Structure 1
Amino acid sequence: MHVRKISDKGQIVIPSEIRRKLEMNEGDQIAFIETKKGNLLLVNVNKIMIDEVQEL
């Protein structure tokens, strides 16, 4: 588990391990998606199809 503080500007730092796993690079767009079960997902928009997310 990774825990981060939110800055006074509402920003967080995504740990490098997570960025590598999600293949995130500078300039990528990130989506925060709530699932039907109430979980929150962090998704690299550049790597997925919108249809895939709607199934969650």
Structure 2
Amino acid sequence: MELARLSSKGQITVPIEIRKKLNLKEGDKVLFFEEDGKIVVANASLMAFKELQSSMMGEAEKQGFKSDNEINEYVKEIRKELWEKKYENND
């Protein structure tokens, strides 16, 4: 259990062990929300990533991809096309 003191401006310093567990770095945003009657503190970026990941679940299969390798090869192909398009006139 960690303890923090609230300043007159409503600010707290997140204890180092909690920052480590949440993988928080200077400038990161912290999310507060209520869950089962408790206030939860979370790394906002990680929560957004997890939400995106959850919403994308099953989309690759819907597009006809059968393996992670197929997806990786498709991404490489798209990146190559974008690179060539961006730099084709910069000889």
Q: Report the Cα offset of residue 3 of structure 1.
A: 1.5
1:1-56 aligned within 5 A = 1-35=1-35, 37-49=36-48, 51=51
Choose between structure 1 and 2 for higher RCO, CA contacts under 8 A separated by at least 6 residues. Answer: 1
Give 1 or 2: higher helix fraction: 2
TM-score, normalised via structure 2 length: 0.51
Please identify which structure carries the higher strand content: 1
Q: CA RMSD in A?
A: 1.7
Identity rate, percent: 38
Shift of 1:6: 0.3
**Structure 2 residue runs without a partner (length 5+):** 52-91
Q: TM-score, normalised by structure 1?
A: 0.78
